[in-house]
Amino acid sequence: MLPVMARVKALSQAGAQGAHAKTAGTCRHLLKREASLWTFVWEDDVEPTNNPAERPLRRAVLWRRRSFGTQSEAGSRFVERILTVVTTLQQQQRDVLAYLTSACLAKLRGDPAPALVPRWRPIPTGM
C-alpha cells in the first residue's frame, strides 16, 4: 500500500494547489485527515468501506444512477421492493434466483409467497 499512499498524497498535494476551488478544498481536506484515511491498512478491525449499514444502500444508489430512476409510482415501488428482497436474501446468504422463482410460482398457483424473513422460533426454556 505504500506506493498507493504516496501517489494519493502527491495527487492531493497537486490538487490542493490547483485552480479549481472545490477540488483544492477537497484535496486540502484529504491531506488534513491523511492519517485517518489509511487506518484500515494498519488496523485489522477497520474496514476500508463505508459504514456496514450503508453498504446495502449502495446497490440502490448505483442502480438509480445508471437507470435514471423510474417513470411511475408503480415502477418506484417495484424497485424498492426488489432491491429490498435482493439485499435481504444476500444478507441471509440465500439464493436470490431460487427465492424469486418460488415467489413467482406461488403467485401463479395462488399460494402465499415464500417467507423473506425466516420464521422466528422461541428458544425453549427450562431444559
Burial of 104 (0-12, 13-18, 19+ CB in 10 A): exposed
On whether the CB atoms of residues 96 and 90 are closer than 8 A, the answer is: yes
Q: Is residue 114 part of a domain?
A: no
Report helix, strand and coil shares of the chain as percent, to nearest 5: 65, 0, 35
pLDDT digits (tens, 9 = 90+) for 54-109: 777 777 778 778 888 788 999 889 988 998 899 889 888 999 999 999 999 999 99
- Do 35 and 78 lie in a common domain? no
pTM: 0.51
Residue type for position 116 = L
Where in the sequence is the domain holding 21, given as residue range(s)?
2-42
C-alpha cell at 116: 423473506
State how many domains the chain has: 2
68: Cα within 13 Å, side-chain hemisphere:
1
